[in-house]
């Protein structure tokens, strides 16, 4: 059965952590637009140079650019049984583009991980990123739990940048809740729970909506 998931939620809600767990359960690719863009920045590609300044300031990459990146990725053979999108769509315009991309595929299942702004700020203050694989980590430690690479603070987790990212989220991304909220496949998840409990909530919600 084809399973197409979209992860929504504010920065720091744990979308990437949950996506890595869920991809193993359902054996579908985890497509993180943030990771793809960070790889482009690290490689110094034209796209990477274009988005580096935007990402470091907490802004959103142009709709047309990121939509082109996602369309190319969803055309790859490994997405035929489904996919898990993390970081796209972030605007209603992107969501409309995604609907057109998947018009002949199984319905999108929307996972909305909900978290208060106070908890977002607290989490991001302790978040690190792996210099090798780009995985996020929260709490103590200096090495990545996925690949063993070194951890460092994320450039886009500085306090002023976090506040800007939350402002951008409220203005541009929260309207997605209205866009998707009336669909039968929309699932609202409490992101303040322990990560394993959040995972179980998501699994139960997806199983009840597909």
Active-site residue numbers? 15, 90, 127, 154, 165
In the numeric block, which tokens belong to residue 66? Answer: 């990121």
Tell me how far the alpha carbon of residue 168 is from its chain's centroid. 15
Q: Measuring CA to CA, which residue among 73, 65, 78, 77 is closest to residue 101?
A: 73
Q: Look-up: residue for tokens 């053979």? A: 77
Sheet holding 151-153, edge to edge: 136-138, 127-130, 151-153
Residues 6+ apart with CB under 8 A from 87: 7, 15, 32, 33, 34
CA atoms within 13 A on the CB side of 167: 9
CA–CA distance, 74 with 83 (Å, rounded to integer): 8
């Amino acid at each position: 059965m084809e399973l197409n998931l979209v992860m929504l939620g504010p920065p720091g809600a744990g979308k990437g952590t949950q996506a890595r767990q869920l991809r193993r359960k359902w054996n579908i690719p985890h497509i993180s637009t943030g990771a793809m863009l960070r790889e482009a920045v690290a490689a110094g590609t034209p796209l990477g140079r274009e988005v580096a300044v935007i990402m470091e300031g907490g802004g959103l990459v142009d709709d047309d650019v990121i939509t082109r990146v996602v369309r190319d990725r969803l055309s790859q053979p490994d997405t035929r049984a489904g996919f898990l999108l993390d970081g796209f769509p972030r605007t209603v315009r992107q969501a409309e583009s995604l609907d057109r991309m998947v018009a002949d595929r199984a319905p999108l299942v929307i996972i909305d991980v909900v978290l208060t702004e106070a908890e977002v700020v607290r989490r991001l203050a302790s978040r690190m990123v792996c210099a090798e694989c780009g995985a996020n980590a929260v709490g103590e430690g200096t090495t990545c739990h996925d690949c063993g690479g070194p951890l460092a603070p994320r450039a886009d987790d500085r306090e002023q940048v976090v506040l800007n990212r939350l402002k951008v989220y409220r203005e541009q991304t929260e309207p997605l809740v209205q866009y998707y909220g009336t669909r039968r496949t929309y699932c609202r998840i409490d992101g303040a729970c322990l990560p394993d409990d959040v995972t179980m909530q998501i699994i139960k919600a997806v199983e009840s909506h597909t």
